Structure 1
Amino acid sequence: MLALQVNNQTLHAQTKVKAVGVDVGYGFVKAVSPVARVSFPSVVAPYIEDPLSGLFHDGTGHRVRVRKANGEVEEKLVGEAALRSLAATATLSREKPASLHDLMLLAAAYLAGGGDKGPFPKQVDLAVGLPLAYFRAQKDTLKKRLEGLAAWVSVDGGEEKHISFGRVLVFPQGAGVVLAGEVALPENGYLAVVDVGTYTTDYLLFEDHGDNIPRPLPEACGSLEAGVNLLHRALAAEFQRQTGAPLAPVMYQDAVECALVGRPIHYGGRDIHLEDAFKKARCDIAQAIAQGVLAAWGGRAGFVALTLLAGGGACLFEDEFLRALPGARVAQDPLFANAQGYFEMVGGMA
């Protein structure tokens, strides 16, 4: 299974969606509503009119038009379409720039069926997440900003709809896996979640007091500043060693996907093989993450009955984690696990 798959479905739902859960990750944006599940790469680029009038358009990626209350209009590419642009911008900093974050969130909400028309458009309830490492410092600021976010949005030339948020909930990333309610708590022992993202790995430990309610152990929950980006860096270093040229960040995902199936990258008139470097880096990084998590759990690690693996890196490092983490198994839908959990919480209160 390809860990970082993309689901570029375009949906202009007729059903009015009252709530949506959105996971704006560093690698991919995921959204879940009652009518859609959407994901696309967390990449934005300027929109340039196609001089070939769409002759070779393959239908991937999205063109987003945002009209703000002050009349300002912004038109951008997001997702796969943005990846193909020479001016592509990915979210590389610890704190996502508000302009990029909000544009991707509005696009995801629209594609998931959010938004309304007419002179008095209804609001949609929203649930999002933040990595544990940044949750305490950023949650209030993010909540306040999203409560004030409002714009008329159109995606891929579709009907313009007004999107604003009535209720905004911000959860710790990784908690969404448990909030989704896909797994029963172990009768004995702890339930753990290890959520491997692009830049961070969140780990959480839950206990049950006999009432089937998961309660986190704060001292055993946290973040490691390690994730799929370390794999990107290893492949970029090997690419530069072989070619003498840097690997552009927008090519990282292509490099991972090629190495995963043993397919070379063609550069400078020759094939560049990265699969050996990929295998070694994957093993080393997974072991480092697992050891960091186990060290944080300390003496409780041996009492963990089930470790749910989630996030884009869950399947990339699956084999290594199954050997290193107690009771490990991949969540039912690791890519959407957090977004699904966020939606379950806000949707249940809608």
Structure 2
Amino acid sequence: MEDNSMCIGIDIGYGFTKVHSDYKNDSFPTAVSAVSRDREFSYMTPINVNGNDFIVGEDAETYGRVMDTRTSSFVASDPWMAVLTYALNSHSFRNGTIVLGLPPGMYSQQYGQAIRQAMKNAAVHINGMEMQYRINGNVKIIPQGAGIYFSHIKDNPEDAYKNVAVVDCGHETLDFALFSKNKYIESVTGSEQLGISVAIDEIRSEFYKRYHFQIKPMAARTALIKGNDEINHLNKGYPFDIKKCLAGYAMQVSAAIDRFIESLPVTPDVAIVGGGPAEIIKKHIATVHNITAVADPMMANAVGYWYYGTRTSVAEG
């Protein structure tokens, strides 16, 4: 499918990559593995980037040898390009506008231009077919929390000219941003190593102390989302007090959010939270200040990127 008007928002997170376009939204694990060409790919389709083969998503998790995506060198690398290609291909994207996000601490016009150049220069093939994405100037790169902001504005246009504090709850970090009168205030950002992975590690550690065997991160995450007083493993329930286990983490997150809001140069009219763990944050953590979870928190950045792309006609760079 080729569509000159197509816009796609892609949120490549440490845990999951979320994708929203004019046609649909979806997500997949941000997992990528390098594979050798002489392997028999009977159940997976490798993506070749600059002569190197990669598999992405659930195939990579099944195959193993998953690369560490938490390093600063991952962005714009060949494995990152494989993840991006997987996202684009899943939406049959060939031509149009791509909107991506960078963590506030990494965001700059210069870095954004380097990413666009890497995308433009990459030679990408799937099943021997060259994937030609006519990106040129049609790649917009904005701060990650901006996606949550624009997702909120899409549903609440009356807040566009207010002061809006944004909390982006990710896998590794809590990121903070401020928008004032529809503008991103670059000098007012913050980040804390208090993403949901901290809570997951706490649960796994406490479970191991009690039952003397390890559970997978996904089992801990599922228990956290459901909020049940037990963790299921191999069809057996193990009693476990999630709230008690998370007491210390909850206090840290609450303090970080309140500290950021109180440090702002202006009093926000609205404070919002997004990201996959946002509902968990709202469920387990009490803050002094009222924080509103945006609609569909997990997809919020991707939806916001898409919305931003549809509303801006002049390409960056």
How high is the TM-score relative to the length of structure 1? 0.73
Summarize the Cα distance change of 1:254–1:240 in structure 2 as closer, same or farther, 3 Å threshold.
Answer: same
Q: Which amino acid aligns with 2:141?
A: V
Of the candidates 176, 181, 184, which is equivalent to residue 216 of structure 1? 184
Q: Deviations over 1:264-286 (max 9, x none)?
A: 3437xx9573742x323444324
1:21-36 matches, within 5 Å, as 21-36=9-24
Query: CA shift at 1:94, angstroms?
Result: 4.8
- Counterparts of 1:29 and 1:285 in 2: how far apart (Å)? 25
1:254 matched to 2:223? The reply is no
Query: CA shift at 1:90, angstroms?
Result: 5.0
* Comparing 222-231 and 21-30, the one that deviates more: 222-231
Residues 314 and 334, structure 1, Cα contact 8 Å, conserved in 2: yes
Query: CA shift at 1:234, angstroms?
Result: 0.7
Query: CA shift at 1:291, angstroms?
Result: 1.5
Partner of 1:207: 180
Other structure's SS at 2:89 match = helix
Q: Which amino acid aligns with 2:57?
A: G
* Comparing 230-239 and 83-92, the one that deviates more: 83-92
1:282-321 matches, within 5 Å, as 282-298=246-262, 300=264, 303-321=267-285
1:128 matched to 2:110? The reply is no
Q: Which amino acid aligns with 1:318?
A: K
Partner of 2:144: 173
Q: Deviations over 1:90-149 (max 9, x none)?
A: 52435436233211111001112212xxxxxxx443211111122248444333322323
Query: CA shift at 1:17, angstroms?
Result: 6.5
How high is the TM-score relative to the length of structure 2? 0.80
Query: CA shift at 1:34, angstroms?
Result: 1.1
1:78-89 matches, within 5 Å, as 78-89=56-67
* Comparing 89-98 and 331-340, the one that deviates more: 89-98
Residues 16 and 30, structure 2, Cα contact 8 Å, conserved in 1: yes
Partner of 1:264: 231
Partner of 1:4: none
1:237 matched to 2:218? The reply is no
Where structure 2 has 5 or more consecutive residues not aligned to the other structure, the ranges are none
1:330 matched to 2:293? The reply is yes
Other structure's SS at 1:26 match = coil
Of the candidates 47, 62, 71, which is equivalent to residue 66 of structure 1? 47
- Counterparts of 2:48 and 2:198 in 1: how far apart (Å)? 37
1:91 matched to 2:59? The reply is no
Query: CA shift at 1:202, angstroms?
Result: 1.4
Partner of 1:58: none
Other structure's SS at 2:202 match = helix
Summarize the Cα distance change of 1:141–1:281 in structure 2 as closer, same or farther, 3 Å threshold.
Answer: farther
* Comparing 101-110 and 302-311, the one that deviates more: 302-311
- Counterparts of 1:17 and 1:113 in 2: how far apart (Å)? 13
Percent of aligned positions with the same letter in both sequences?
21
Partner of 1:143: 116
Other structure's SS at 2:82 match = helix
Residues 204 and 217, structure 1, Cα contact 8 Å, conserved in 2: yes
Count of paired positions: 303
- Counterparts of 1:101 and 1:274 in 2: how far apart (Å)? 40
Summarize the Cα distance change of 1:259–1:294 in structure 2 as closer, same or farther, 3 Å threshold.
Answer: closer
Q: Which amino acid aligns with 1:111?
A: S
Other structure's SS at 1:91 match = coil
Of the candidates 78, 81, 84, which is equivalent to residue 102 of structure 1? 81
Residues 170 and 196, structure 2, Cα contact 8 Å, conserved in 1: yes
- Counterparts of 1:274 and 1:79 in 2: how far apart (Å)? 32
Q: Which amino acid aligns with 2:65?
A: A
Residues 310 and 334, structure 1, Cα contact 8 Å, conserved in 2: yes
Q: Which amino acid aligns with 1:65?
A: P
Summarize the Cα distance change of 1:178–1:140 in structure 2 as closer, same or farther, 3 Å threshold.
Answer: same
Query: CA shift at 1:302, angstroms?
Result: 9.1
1:113 matched to 2:92? The reply is yes
Summarize the Cα distance change of 1:170–1:286 in structure 2 as closer, same or farther, 3 Å threshold.
Answer: farther
Query: CA shift at 1:164, angstroms?
Result: 5.0
Q: Deviations over 1:64-91 (max 9, x none)?
A: 43245x6x36252x22333334434452
Other structure's SS at 1:336 match = helix
Summarize the Cα distance change of 1:73–1:224 in structure 2 as closer, same or farther, 3 Å threshold.
Answer: closer
Residues 169 and 276, structure 2, Cα contact 8 Å, conserved in 1: yes
Q: Deviations over 1:241-271 (max 9, x none)?
A: 2455555xxx31232103543353437xx95
Other structure's SS at 2:27 match = strand
* Comparing 237-246 and 104-113, the one that deviates more: 237-246
Query: CA shift at 1:30, angstroms?
Result: 0.9
